[in-house]
């Protein structure tokens, strides 16, 4: 296990205003990755991997939430190719990875071909614990509590990974007042 960087990951998946249409399931359509250097606390790169859904379509609701269109994700790679890319380009099997909440981890598990090793950090729970909050809060609220700006577009994988990495870095490298 390499402890030099944490892979901060955020996924966007097909979604609907209510239940999925008959025969469709929620699938990853974007994997955002931001590497967090553990020594410096610096965010290193922001990456977006578009993933072509195989058992669902991008709804109007999903596009309004994520800005991702059916046409954009149709040009993406398969989920299996995205997992290979995470392992090859980011060493995902050998690094700690983090996400905001457990949704992302569970979505990878549901889709199979889990690209990560066994070490996962749930930044959402960690943030609530370190701030002694009575409950977990959403990413936008956590950024406000931490005094950090929301950079980019909320509900886009690469921008959310970037923002989660900033939040996580603040927990690893707290400033003293």
- Region 125-154 average pLDDT: 98
CA distance 143 to 166: 9
**What does the chain look like in DSSP terms, one character per residue?**
-EEEEEEEEEEEE---SSSPPTT----EEEEEEEEEETTT--EEEEEEEEB--SS----HHHHHHH---HHHHHTSB-HHHHHHHHHHHH-GGGEEEEESSSHHHHHHHHHSS--S-S-EEEHHHHHHHHTT-SS---HHHHHHHHT----S-TT-HHHHHHHHHHHHHHHHSPPP-
Q: How confident is the model at residue 177 (pLDDT cuts 50, 70, 90)?
A: very low
Cβ atoms 124, 91 nearer than 8 A: no
Query: Residue 98: beta bridge partners?
Result: 8, 121
| pTM for the full predicted model | 0.96
89 Ramachandran zone, left/alpha/beta (phi>0; psi -120 to 50): alpha
- Region 102-122 average pLDDT: 96
Taken in order 21, 103, 91, 34, the sign of the CA dihedral is positive
- Region 92-116 average pLDDT: 97
List domains and CATH numbers for the chain. Answer: 2-172 (3.30.420.10)
**What is the model's pLDDT at position 175?**
74
| Strands 43-50, 95-99: pairing kind | unpaired
Cβ atoms 15, 147 nearer than 8 A: no
pLDDT, averaged across the chain: 96
pLDDT > 70 in the chain, percent? 99
Helices 157-172 and 123-130 pack at an angle, to 10 degrees, of 40
- Region 98-116 average pLDDT: 97
**What is the model's pLDDT at position 81?**
98
- Region 83-106 average pLDDT: 98
Query: Tens of pLDDT along 12-56?
Result: 999 999 999 999 999 999 999 999 999 999 999 999 999 999 999
- Region 133-139 average pLDDT: 98
């Amino acid at each position: 296990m390499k402890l030099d960087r944490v892979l901060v990951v955020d996924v966007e998946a097909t979604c609907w205003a209510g239940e999925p249409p008959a025969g469709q399931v929620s699938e990853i359509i974007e994997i955002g990755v931001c590497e967090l250097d553990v020594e410096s606390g610096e965010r290193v790169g922001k990456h977006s991997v578009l993933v072509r859904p195989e058992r669902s379509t991008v709804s109007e609701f999903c596009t309004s939430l994520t800005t991702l269109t059916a046409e954009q994700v149709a040009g993406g790679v398969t989920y299996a190719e995205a997992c290979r890319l995470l392992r090859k380009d980011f060493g995902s099997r050998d690094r700690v990875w983090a996400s905001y909440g457990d949704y992302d981890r569970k979505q990878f598990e549901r889709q199979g071909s889990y690209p990560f090793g066994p070490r996962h950090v749930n930044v959402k729970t960690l943030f609530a614990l370190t701030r002694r909050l009575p409950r977990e809060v959403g990413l936008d609220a956590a950024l406000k509590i931490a005094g950090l700006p929301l950079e980019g577009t909320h509900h886009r994988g690469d921008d959310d990974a970037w923002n989660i990495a900033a939040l996580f870095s603040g927990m690893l490298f707290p400033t003293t007042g």
